Amino acid sequence: MSLTNYLVLAAVLFTIGAVGVLVRRNAIVVFMCIELMLNSVNLTLVTFARATGTLDGQVIAFFVMVVAAAEVVVGLAIIMSIYRTRRSASVDDANLLKY
């Protein structure tokens, strides 16, 4: 199978993630969409590593996973703290800051 297919799949996943971030309301779902974007990048990286015959891409994919895990820790802590006060994780309810 040609490597292009993997790249197209990754681009489609990235787009689904980006659209999800823009249209979904729940902070947790928005966050999951961002994780989807990061994972599609991993797929792209591994494909390019194969295509260019270098190992860098695979190594970067590991770094991305570690960073994504750190981001989960920070992100869930912040979403939890706001949920405990408001009893809601909807990004539409967080509307005190405007204009």
Partner 1 sequence: MGPIQAPSLSLAALAPLLLVFGAAAIGVLVEAFAPRAVRHPVQVALALVGTVGAFLATLLLAVDGTEEVTAAGALAVDGAGLFLQATIAGLGALSVLLFAERGLDPARSSFVAAAAVPAGSPRDRELLTSERVQTEVYPLAVFAVGGMMLFVTANDLLVMFIALEVLSLPLYLISGLARRRRLLSQEAAVKYFLLGAFASAFFLYGLALVYGATGTIRLSGIRESVTTEGTGTLLVLGLGLLVVGLLFKASVAPFHTWTPDVYQGAPTPVTAFMAACTKVAAFGAILRLLYVAFGTADWTWRPIVYGIAIVSMLVGAVLGLTQTDVKRMLAYSSIAHAGFLLTGVIGLGGGTGSGLAATLFYLLAYGLTTLGAFAVVTLVRDGDGEATHLSQWAGLATRSPLTAGIMAFLLLALAGIPLTSGFTGKFAVFRAAIEVGAWPLAVIALVASAVAAFFYLRLIVLMYFSDPAVDGATVGVPGLPTTIVLAVTVAATLVLGVVPGSVLDLADRAATLVG
Coil, helix or strand for 24?
coil
CB of 5 to partner 1, least distance (A): 14
Residues 11-50 that bind partner 1 (CB under 8 A): 14, 17-18, 21, 27, 30-31, 34, 37-38, 40-41, 44-45, 47-48
At its nearest, how many Å lie between partner 1 and the CB of residue 16?
A: 12
Amino acid at 62: F
Figure out which of the listed residues 16, 32, 82, 88 binds partner 1, where binding follows CB under 8 A.
82
Q: Kindly tell me which residue out of 2, 55, 84, 92 binds partner 1, with binding defined by CB under 8 A.
A: 84
DSSP state for residue 92 in the 8-state scheme: T
For residue 57 the two structure tokens come to 């891409």
Non-local CB neighbours of 61 within 8 Å, separated by 6+ positions: 42, 45, 46, 49
> Which has the closest alpha carbon to 18: 35, 1, 2?
35
Of 69, 73, 6, nearest to 41 (Cα)? 6
67 part of the interface to partner 1, by CB under 8 A: yes
Reported as half-sphere exposure (CB side, CA atoms, 13 A), residue 50 has a value of 12
Contacting residues toward partner 1, per CB under 8 A: 7, 14, 17-18, 21, 27, 30-31, 34, 37-38, 40-41, 44-45, 47-48, 51-52, 54, 56-57, 59-60, 63-64, 67, 70-71, 74-75, 77-79, 81-82, 84-86, 91, 94, 96-99
